Amino acid sequence: MRNVRLWRGLLGVDKRTVIEAVEFEEFEGQDAEGAALVVARVRPRSGVSRRCGRCGRRASWYDRGEGRRRWRGLDWGTVQVVLEAEAPRVNCPTHGPTVAAVPWARHHAGHTLAFDDTVAWLAVACSKTAVCELMRVAWRTVGAIVARVWADTEKTFDRFAVCAASASTRSPTNATTST
């Protein structure tokens, strides 16, 4: 297995993401108690860069935005993981100046797709306290993550498909026949 494939798997990113470097930082001091952080410097591949963060359409470059930004990834045991990349803005014809889309995170999210999906699943499967303790986030953050994940899920899931399927199997008059 090549290093790139290994890092992609560990970081939870796909082939649309270029991993430039991975660094390990240890914090020392009274409050840190051996805390560690993995920082992966990444960027989108050229084919997926310069797209609107809201609609995903190609857009012209606008400015550098607020510089480098970090997205929290899934922890590796007790080690926190963050992805770091430039966050330029593009000028979308529909939405105007907005932060460019990145393949590893949703728009307006400070977490990776894998982190968001895991938190949303845990929110359904575990107690409130368990989710907050396991993922090291506040309950308010869990609510925002679930809203983002559901918005993405709702785009691909037709809630009325089951209703339409059951309606098509009924008789036109909905009458029952007696024998």
**What is the spatial distance between Cα 63 and Cα 57, in angstroms, rounded to a whole number?**
17
Report CA torsion sign: 59, 45, 47, 158. Answer: negative
**What is the spatial distance between Cα 100 and Cα 108, in angstroms, rounded to a whole number?**
11
pTM flag (> 0.85): no
Give residue 168's pLDDT: 57
Average pLDDT over residues 151-166: 76
Beta strands in 33-79 (DSSP E): 36-44, 60-63, 68-72
Q: How confident is the model at residue 134 (pLDDT cuts 50, 70, 90)?
A: very high
Give residue 49's pLDDT: 85
Give residue 48's pLDDT: 84
Angle at 155 between CA 46 and CA 125, to 5 degrees: 100
Question: Residue ranges of the domains in the chain?
Answer: 1-105, 111-179
Is residue 72's pLDDT more than 70? yes
Q: How confident is the model at residue 1 (pLDDT cuts 50, 70, 90)?
A: very low
